[in-house]
Structure 1
Amino acid sequence: MADKRAIGIFDSGIGGLPIAQKVRELLPNENLLYVADTQFAPYGEKSEDEVLARAQAVVEFMLSQNVKAIVVACNTATMIAIKTLRAKYDLPFIGVEPGVKPAAIHTQSGVIGVLATEKTLSSKAFDALAKRVAGHVEVVIQPSPKLVRLVEELKLNPDEACAAVESYVQPLIEKGADTIILGCTHFAHLAPVIELVAGPNISVISTETAVAKEVLRRLENENLLSTQSMDGESAFCSSGDLALFQRQLTRLWGKDALAQKF
């Protein structure tokens, strides 16, 4: 029997859209519910208690919409909240964490750089992740708050974003990093600019495809895949400015995307 319930995907803003796009490509028959908690963005500047409270509020809304699984498409929320969410709610949660493991395998210089929010980089979960999978390399961290705001403001072109990107990327390169991790889902929108600034000798690692594959794996394992033959529908909700969210969706998803309030 087809499980037509939607997959829930949430972030503090539009950072999770690249993950949603990869899930849509990999699972075209699934219905998706994307929630941008923009009234309370960015999570990277909130306390851990605030992030946990907002994550639970979004999950409660998604459960009221009868989702079958939830993707926490935000590094900060994953680091802070996913353990509590999994303990409290009886459905699959798929998180996103910085790609430290592939970076540690890939690096030739023995130094990897991480662009992320201060909240992610200072979390116990990130510290444990780095020690577990990258103990043999040097991990250089770089909080990058301006990049989140650039993305939310749709300032994604090189002429708009290069200066801010360079101010964060250059210190990592100067410290010997040959591999840079995009440790915030928002930064995938700026990947072309980051790659341009970093240059051809620096590898840039993002995790959207890996997260989408994990969604597929979890749904398969729990017999939650939709077997409907028609294309799935995508719904988009925001707790913040709907006019802004509509502009963001139109540019980043397509003209058919409709912004709704939650």
Structure 2
Amino acid sequence: MTDSRPIGVFDSGIGGLPIAKKIRELLPNENLIYVADTHYAPYGEKSEDTILQRSLAVTDFLRSQDVKAIVVACNTATMVSIKTLRAEYGEKYDLPFIGVEPGVKPAAIHTKTGVIGVLATEKTLTSHAFDALAKRVAGNAHMEIQPSPKLVRLVENLQLDDDAAVKAVEEYVHPLIEKDADTIILGCTHFAHLAPVIEKVAGDKVSVISTELAVAKEVVRRLKVENLLTTQPDFGTTEFFSNGDLALFQQQIQYLWGIDAQAQRF
């Protein structure tokens, strides 16, 4: 039996689009719904209670759209909310949740100097979940954390390679390089949009680790395990929702996704 219900993906803004795009590449026949909670962006500047309440509200909206799985395509929301989402919705509604966390494990394997740099929001870096993750999988590697508050707003404004973007990236990356980091983790999904600039600033000897492909592969794995994959032969649809400026959101989608989609309000 085929399951053509959509996969829900949400973030505080457009940070989750690279994850949604990878899901689309790996699962071209699946229907997707992407929700940008833009009115409350960025999550990294909000209290944990606010982040949790917004995660619950977006989950309720996605449930109203009859999704078969939800991807929390935001590091901060994953760290703060996913345990509660799974406890309150997962078992009760048989609804799988797939989160995203900083790529500490691959970074720990990859590093030669033993120093890993982490670019993320303050909320992610100070969360108990991130601390537990680092202790669990970092091994002997030393973590140098770098809160990067300017980067999310640059991405939301589509300032992905201008002088302001380069200057902000230099401000956050150079201290990590000076501390001998040879591997830098993009610990916020928004930062994938800035990866080319981050890689250029960091230099050839530094590896930049992003997790959107790993998350997309986990979505495929979970849907297979839960027997939720569609068998429909047609190319899947993609719907975009936001509670922010819809004209700007459509511009962001067109620029970053490459399609002229009709954004909807939620």
TM range (shorter): over 0.9
Structure 2 segments unaligned to the other structure (5+ residues): none
Alignment of 1:76-155 (within 5 A): 76-90=76-90, 91-155=95-159
Q: What RMSD in Å do the two structures reach over aligned CA positions?
A: 0.7
Helix, strand or coil at the partner of 2:15: coil
Alignment of 1:164-175 (within 5 A): 164-175=168-179
1:181 and 2:185 are equivalent in the alignment: yes
Post-superposition CA distance 1:55-92 (Å, at most 9, x none):
00000000000000000000000000000000000310
1:47 and 2:51 are equivalent in the alignment: no
Helix, strand or coil at the partner of 2:208: strand
| TM-score (normalizing by structure 2) | 0.97
Any conservation in 1 of the 2:24–2:30 contact (CA below 8 Å)?
yes
Name the residue aligned to 2:35: 35
Alignment of 1:204-243 (within 5 A): 204-243=208-247
* Paired AA for residue 17 in structure 1: L
Distance in 1 between residues matched to 2:120 and 2:101, nearest whole Å: 10
Cα offset, 1:239, TM superposition: 1.1
Post-superposition CA distance 1:150-200 (Å, at most 9, x none):
000000114341100000000001011000000000000000000010010
Post-superposition CA distance 1:196-246 (Å, at most 9, x none):
100100000000000000000000000000000000000000011111111
Distance in 1 between residues matched to 2:249 and 2:137, nearest whole Å: 37
Name the residue aligned to 1:16: 16
* Paired AA for residue 60 in structure 1: D
Distance in 2 between residues matched to 1:53 and 1:246, nearest whole Å: 26
Aligned sequence identity (%): 75
Any conservation in 2 of the 1:99–1:181 contact (CA below 8 Å)?
yes
| TM-score (normalizing by structure 1) | 0.99
1:59 and 2:59 are equivalent in the alignment: yes
Any conservation in 2 of the 1:178–1:201 contact (CA below 8 Å)?
yes
Distance in 1 between residues matched to 2:46 and 2:135, nearest whole Å: 25
Distance in 2 between residues matched to 1:47 and 1:160, nearest whole Å: 27
Distance in 2 between residues matched to 1:132 and 1:158, nearest whole Å: 38
Helix, strand or coil at the partner of 2:4: coil
Distance in 1 between residues matched to 2:258 and 2:138, nearest whole Å: 38
Distance in 2 between residues matched to 1:40 and 1:94, nearest whole Å: 21
Any conservation in 1 of the 2:250–2:260 contact (CA below 8 Å)?
no
Moved more, 11-20 or 245-254: 245-254
1:3 and 2:41 are equivalent in the alignment: no
Post-superposition CA distance 1:127-170 (Å, at most 9, x none):
00000001311000000010000000000114341100000000
Distance in 2 between residues matched to 1:135 and 1:12, nearest whole Å: 31
Post-superposition CA distance 1:88-142 (Å, at most 9, x none):
0031000000000000000000000000000000000000000000131100000
Distance in 2 between residues matched to 1:158 and 1:99, nearest whole Å: 27
Name the residue aligned to 1:163: 167
Any conservation in 2 of the 1:158–1:193 contact (CA below 8 Å)?
no
Name the residue aligned to 2:253: 249
Structure 1 segments unaligned to the other structure (5+ residues): none
Distance in 1 between residues matched to 2:259 and 2:70, nearest whole Å: 25
Helix, strand or coil at the partner of 1:101: helix
Distance in 2 between residues matched to 1:203 and 1:251, nearest whole Å: 26
Cα offset, 1:2, TM superposition: 1.5
Helix, strand or coil at the partner of 1:14: coil
